[in-house]
Amino acid sequence: MKKSKKRLDAERRYDKHTAYAPEDALGLVKDLAYANFDESVDVAFQLGIDPRQADQIVRGTVSLPHGTGKDVRVAVFAESDKAREAEEAGADIVGGKELADAITSGAQPLDFDVVVATPDMMPVVGKLGPVLGPRGLMPNPKSGTVTQDVGKTVAAFKAGRVEYRNDRYGNVHVPIGRVSFSVEDLVDNLVAISTEVIRNRPAAAKGQYLRKVAVSSTMGPGVAIDVGQLEALVKARR
């Protein structure tokens, strides 16, 4: 795909072959952003794992101290008191079998970012695997999205908790804020997610775990982060 003049100009304003300190990399991402909207800032981790092995899956959730700057839409599968609890916590869509049927038929658009379910609803939600799974929306106990504490979970996602999972290439992509965030807030969020990804290193993973890390805005180029400096920053803040 042909690059725009603004994108080419942004790429000329930094050294794409240099790995920068976290603060400098995020400062560059802000400086290089050129869209006329508040672009998302994302981090991508290239991990030394074999994603084909079930014991090397890296997934979980983490609460970013400054949120993502995005209005997160949460769908909840629950009934009775738990459904009311979810609604009171601010869930955008709440339902049981009727919600599953609506998703299957296409009557309910997949216009939500997170799906939470109580354990008793998983037989119903499980049938939606072919629809929710490819979009990374399937609830899972390991990520805390299958829970009895739906109110607390909904509130946490609304406040800035993000879910992460490696893709089939062993990469993890996570939003950490907006271009309008200060560098300090972006660094705080980067450290929070980096800490979790490092903590969740699979025991079966061999060799270097964090191979490459890069940050970018929605439209801007990727800026490489010096992995050693990032690991040192995470260690210093523990």
Considering the domain architecture, whether residues 140 and 178 belong to the same structural domain is answered as: no
pLDDT exceeds 90 at position 176: yes
- Residues 58-115: pLDDT tens digits? 998 899 999 999 889 999 999 999 999 999 999 999 999 999 999 999 999 999 999 9
Considering the domain architecture, whether residues 177 and 211 belong to the same structural domain is answered as: yes
Residues 6+ apart with CB under 8 A from 153: 116, 144, 145, 147
Considering the domain architecture, whether residues 155 and 79 belong to the same structural domain is answered as: yes
What are the E-state strand segments in the chain? Answer: 40-47, 59-63, 74-77, 93-95, 114-117, 161-165, 171-178, 210-217, 223-225
* CA 100, chain centre distance (Å): 24
Point out the domain boundary residue: 132, 159, 186.
159
Point out the domain boundary residue: 102, 129, 159.
159
Tell me how many domains the chain contains. 2
What is the pLDDT at residue 34?
Answer: 87
Task: Give this prediction's pTM.
Answer: 0.81
What values do phi and psi take at 49, rounded to 5? Answer: -130, 165
What is the pLDDT at residue 35?
Answer: 87
Considering the domain architecture, whether residues 117 and 58 belong to the same structural domain is answered as: no
Pair 129, 146: CB distance under 8 Å: no
Considering the domain architecture, whether residues 49 and 83 belong to the same structural domain is answered as: no
Considering the domain architecture, whether residues 45 and 101 belong to the same structural domain is answered as: no
Pair 56, 207: CB distance under 8 Å: no
Considering the domain architecture, whether residues 32 and 102 belong to the same structural domain is answered as: no
Please name the residue ranges forming H helices in 133-216: 150-159, 183-199
DSSP class per residue in 175-190: EEEETTS-HHHHHHHH
Q: Which CATH number covers residue 79?
A: 3.40.50.790
The residue with tokens 């079998």 is 97
- Residues 19-68: pLDDT tens digits? 999 999 999 999 999 889 999 999 999 999 999 999 999 998 899 999 99
Pair 126, 97: CB distance under 8 Å: no
Point out the domain boundary residue: 159, 187, 213.
159
Considering the domain architecture, whether residues 19 and 38 belong to the same structural domain is answered as: yes
Residues 6+ apart with CB under 8 A from 201: 58, 209
Six-digit token string for 16? 């794409």
The whole domain housing 98 covers 74-159
Considering the domain architecture, whether residues 168 and 187 belong to the same structural domain is answered as: yes
Considering the domain architecture, whether residues 62 and 172 belong to the same structural domain is answered as: yes
Q: Which CATH number covers residue 196?
A: 3.30.190.20
Considering the domain architecture, whether residues 167 and 146 belong to the same structural domain is answered as: no
Considering the domain architecture, whether residues 149 and 194 belong to the same structural domain is answered as: no
